[in-house]
Amino acid sequence: MPNTFSRRSALKSAVLGSTAILLQSTLHERLLAADQQAGSAAARRIKHSVCKWCYPQVSLDDLCREGKKFGLKSVELLGPNDWPTLQKHDLTCSMANGAEISLDKGWNRPEYHEQLLKNYEQMIPKVAKAGLKNLICFSGNRAGLSDEKGIENCVSGLKRLMPIAEKHNVNVVMELLNSKVNHKDYQCDHTAWGVEVCKGVGSERMKLLYDIYHMQIMEGDVIATINKFHPYIAHYHTGGVPGRHEIDDTQELFYPAIMKAIVATGYDGFVAQEFVPLRTDVLASLKQGVTICTV
């Protein structure tokens, strides 16, 4: 059989092959650079916080000082007495507390409205003066109350609070908690329920705290739920499922994908680590959690 593969065609093939390899390499480099740039942008948009109650063995000063070394910008679920310590370390409190009565006595019961209004009307100006943006609140327990009536009661009370929240540009943020494992009978235990409260209140200052741990237990579909309801979410908490411990591969959630989904919604607020470490070196566990969520 004659050899029809000439030197010229061989050279042409080699040149084309080299060109293809070069183009492929250049494209790969561009894609890699774009991915790195996107990753850097995502890392800038996720601001890291931690809930102090998870670290009773660490002083607030130590938590601030050590946490700053690996990227913390906030320590939260703290009231006015602790804010000066955060300011000393150039940190913020991305979710303030101190106005609530308790988790089980909340806005779904009219008998608590007057006390809650007094508490929040006093606290909101303090939050604003400290340069903070979010103040936590709770629905309270059902205690036989229907979901519809619970929404109605929350709306009627919180609507009265919104003028002062709007005046001071402070978000009143209701936390979503599970009623299956940790907080039996808590009413705001599904995202859709909390969203109905926000819709009923009808203010941009009424938002939700989406706790990933709690909502994985109650309803799953974490990323789909975030995509659907993100306009109503002002803040996020983490935690490993089951057990609310480290968020690494010892538990069932894949937090890098969840963080990417949060960033994709345009969210530029804080994500707070709210897991109780099992390991002896609790700050190493916290650092690992922050690293996992820096996507």
Give the closest residue to 214 by CA, choosing from 249, 253, 250, 248.
253
Q: Which CATH superfamily is domain 47-292 in?
A: Divalent-metal-dependent TIM barrel enzymes (3.20.20.150)
- Separation of alpha carbons 240 and 246, rounded Å: 5
- To the nearest whole percent, how much of the chain has pLDDT over 70? 85
SS (H, E, C) 264-292: HCCCCCEEEECCCCCCCCHHHHHHHHHHH
Q: pLDDT for 73-105, tens place per residue?
A: 999 999 999 999 999 999 999 999 999 999 999
**What residue segments make up the domains of the chain, in order of their start?**
1-45, 47-292
Q: pTM of the full predicted structure? A: 0.85
Mean pLDDT of 113-133: 98
**pLDDT at 18 > cutoff 50:** no
| pLDDT one-digit tens code per residue, 159-216 | 999 999 999 999 999 999 999 999 999 999 999 999 999 999 999 999 999 999 999 9
Among residues 202, 276, 205, which one has the least CA distance to residue 241? 276
Q: How far apart are CA 110 and CA 146, in angstroms?
A: 14
Res 45: pLDDT? 79
How is residue 74 written in tokens? 């906030």
Instruction: Please give the DSSP secondary-structure letter assigned to residue 171.
Output: E
Q: Is 60 exceeded by the pLDDT of residue 13?
A: no
| Tally of residues, the chain | 295
The confidence score (pLDDT) of residue 136 equals 98
pLDDT band of 295, cuts 50, 70, 90:
confident
